Every structure is written in structure tokens, then in C-alpha cells.
Amino acid sequence: MSGGSYSGFSLFKNALSYHENWQRAWRSPKPKSDYDVIIIGGGGHGLATAYYLAREHGITNVAVIEKGYLGGGNTGRNTTIIRSNYLWDEAAHLYELALKLWEGLSQELNFNVMFSQRGVLNLGHTLQDMRDIERRVNANRLNGIDGEVIGPAEVQKLVPLLDCSPGNRYPVLGASWQPRGGTARHDAVAWGYARAADALGVDLIQQTEVTGIRRENGRVTGVETNAGFIGARKVGCVVAGNSGVLAAMAGLQLPIESHPLQAMVSEPLRPCLDTVVMSNAVHGYISQSDKGDLVIGAGIDHYTGYGQRGSFHVVEHTMQAICELFPAFSRVRMNRQWGGIVDTCPDACPIISKTPVQGLYFNCGWGTGGFKATPGSGYVFADTVAHDRPHPLAEAFSIDRFYSGALIDEHGAAGVAH
Ligand code: FAD
Ligand code: PYC
């Protein structure tokens, strides 16, 4: 990957030199002794936060500290489904902000994130599914979000390989259809934000693990890392499945459980599926990547844990679901399977919040559905950190809701059961 522009000749020369002379897309700086803001976690959300801090708020004395490599967490492990068809106003507005940002992201970052608005279908298999779908689509339309309820004939037209026979165990009675939804290239999102943040002066520090959060008189003063202490006036934690661990370092407890979530891809096929199909009832979802692989996933593993792998019975269940929906795929060979650790909240909504420790902020709890939110999450979190008060769209997602009881139940829209 390169930040500069290359002629055909230099591309050829660099290929022969094993890319030795390629310009790096971002620096690899030594950490300074202190920063205005440290963001812990170099996934899409952390990198987007750092980028918007610099671009929207002029705060450039910022470091992103990542224990592995940029985008190596859930950002690089997810199935990249993007949509904004959430039920409640608070969530719908947040995910719709993200979708609007996705629509201009490649131009904004000058980096092709391969955002593809191929549309997302959520299938309904029972009368109750269809009632829930109608309720959600009506709510979406009242919020100015595109969506339609379509019947089985229209579903079949959009997805010829889907088995819509009326006699099926779970017959397809219809679907919600969000045409502006789709997919993006996950690594490109991390790389695009990383390159743009670096260009604005943000230090991206990889292979450095935060091991402690130092506080004095109720205020954060910096982070302990395996490379020593780094001071900071403000610290934002954006570590997905490790949020509970980081919170404990600051003496806090979050209402979060960490679970494995799996996905898998097949051998590449010729183009045969040009939308995203999700079904909560049979418990599977599928799309086809631009390389031709079928990208497939299902629900979380129900035990908690930090191992980035899943259990076999979930793989088996998922494949049963996909073969039931698409009998034609029953002979496709699978290539790879992997897991990520997702941080789930009791109401299937994120936490974007200040904390009782001054200068310490958390952005987490996106569970199985945070990739789609990446640009919006970074945008509102940067604003929250910069001004030390919640961005208007983040206000409802504060930790306070677990004390006040103002939960936002998005289990029905979460796409993947958890
Ligand atoms: P991450 O990308 O996980 O970044 C957090 C980073 O923090 C990691 O890189 C980690 O190494 C780092 N870190 C942790 N602890 C420390 C520490 N102590 N010090 C320094 N760094 C640390 N969402 C969708 O919207 N659509 C989907 O289709 C979808 N599919 C999914 C499929 C799977 C299999 C999985 C696992 C998730 C899926 N998700 C999906 C959810 C989505 O991936 C996440 O919500 C989102 O990527 C979270 O982004 P993030 O930047 O917060 O986390
Ligand atoms: O949130 O749409 C979603 C999703 C699909 C697969 C995993 N999460």
C-alpha cells in the first residue's frame, strides 16, 4: 500500500525490489513523553476518533496506542455489513450519521474504502417477523431513512438463488430492504483513517500494550504501557472486546460481556449474489465479496471469553442455515474461519461516554454491529472528548442510562442475536 502516486515504471521497479522503496503510508514514531489526547485501540473506531480530533477540532497532539497492528482486532475480522435501519430514534440517528459519512468517505480520505451500496435484506419468515419488519421500516421512514417492506416475489427477483419455496421449514414471507446499505473493505477503512490521521500529525504507536491507567486526584494523567509511562490530559478507550479489562485498570466496572463471534469465507465463486442477505430466524447472513468469496456468519458463542476463535457447533449451525436458504451453495467449499471478541451491552447499544474519572472516556459495547458505525462513532466520540461533554447524538448512549433505566433496546435490529 502506498501514500504516493506511482508511474507504471516505478511500480515495476518496486515490484523487483520487493517493495523495499515504497513510500510508507504512515510514520512509525517513537512515543512522546506526553500528549493532549491518547486513544487506546487502533481499530477503525479509534483511528476515526483520532482523525476527527485532528480534522474537526484541530487537536493534533494525539497518539493512538495499539497492542497489535492497526485494524487487527474486530475491524479486520468482521463481515462488513453496513446499514442504518435501527428501530429507536437515538440509534437510527447515530447509524444514519455513519451511513452518510460512509457515502463520502473514499473521497474524504482520498483512499478507496470500497464502499458498495448493494442493499441489505433482512428476511421475515413468520407473521410476527413481518410485523416487526413493518414496525421498524415505518420507524426508519419517519426518521428519513430509506427502507421498504417487500414481498417474496420481489425478494426472489433480487436474490434468484435464494430458496423462496412456500413449503420450506422457514418460508420467506418478505423482507425489509435498505438499498443504501451494503459493504466496505474492512482493512481499507483502517488504513484510510490511519493515513489521514498520520498526515494531520497523529502518532500511531503499534505493538505497544496499555497495562494501566494512571490517575491522580480523580483525574487521568496518562497510561502505563509495556514501553513505559506516557502522559496525557485526556484518554479515550476504544478497545472493543477488551473494554472490561481497560475499565478495571481505571477502577470502573462496565455493564459489558465479551463473547466470541465467528465468521467464515468460501472459495471464490463467479458473481452470483449482489446484495446482503440476513435472516435472524435461521440464524445466518451472507454476502459475496469483490474477490468472489461468500462471506458468512451467525450469532455469538454464548460463553464469555477472550480467545479469538469460536466453537464448532456454531459453524455447523451456520452452515445448516445457509444451505437451507441457498441449497445451491451446499457444495461450495469453505476456505477459512475465524473469530473476534465482541463487547455486548444489555440493550444491544453502545456506550459513548464520559466516566467518573475526569478526562477518561469510553467508546465500546458495539457488540456484533459496530463496523457500520465506524465513521459516525469516531465523529461523535472525537467531539465528546474535545469538548468534555457528550455530542448531542451520543448523549443517549452515556453510561448513565444503566442507572436511569433509559435503555435503548435494539436487540431486534442487531442483525445477529446476542
Ligand atoms: P477493534 O477493531 O477490535 O479495535 C480495538 C483495538 O484495541 C484492537 O486492535 C486491539 O488490539 C486494541 N487493544 C485492546 N486492548 C488493548 C490494550 N490494552 N492496549 C492497546 N491496544 C489494545 N459489525 C457490523 O457493523 N457489521 C458486520 O457485518 C459485522 N460483522 C462482524 C463479524 C465478526 C466475526 C465480528 C467479530 C464482528 C463483527 N462486527 C460487525 C462488529 C464489528 O467488527 C465491531 O463492532 C467493530 O469492528 C469494532 O471496532 P473497534 O475499532 O471498536 O474495535
Ligand atoms: O450488524 O448488520 C450487522 C451485522 C451483520 C453481521 C454481523 N453484524
State residue 418's pLDDT score: 55
As a whole-number percent, the residues of the chain with pLDDT over 70 amount to 97
**C-beta of residue 354 within 8 angstroms of C-beta of residue 380:** no
**Tens of pLDDT along 47-95?**
999 999 999 999 999 999 999 999 999 999 999 999 999 999 999 999 9
Q: What is the pLDDT of residue 7?
A: 65
CA of 209 to the centre of ligand 2 (A): 28
Q: What is the pLDDT of residue 1?
A: 39
Q: Which atom of ligand 1 is nearest to the CA of 47?
A: 51
- Could you read off the pLDDT of 112-136 as tens digits, one per residue? 999 999 999 999 999 999 999 999 9
Indicate the top mutation candidate among 74, 295, 372 to test ligand 2's pocket, ranked by most ligand atoms within 8 A of CB. Answer: 372
Residue nearest (by alpha carbon) to ligand 1 atom 47: 75
- The string of pLDDT tens digits covering residues 186-210 is 999 999 999 999 999 999 999 999 9
Q: What is the pLDDT of residue 415?
A: 66
| Residues lining ligand 1, Cβ inside 6 A | 40-46, 65-68, 72-75, 77-81, 209-210, 238-240, 242, 261-263, 297, 340, 342, 366, 368-372
Kindly give the distance from the C-alpha atom of residue 260 to the centroid of ligand 1, in angstroms, as a whole number: 11
Residue 398 confidence class, pLDDT cut points 50, 70, 90 = very high
Please state, rounded to an integer, the average pLDDT across all residues of the chain.
95
Contacts 24+ apart (CB under 8 A), 356-359: 356/218, 356/252, 357/213, 357/215, 357/218, 357/219, 357/220, 357/250, 357/251, 357/252, 358/218, 358/219, 358/220, 359/219, 359/220, 359/232, 359/233, 359/234, 359/235, 359/388
- Give 416 Cα–ligand 2 centroid separation in angstroms: 6
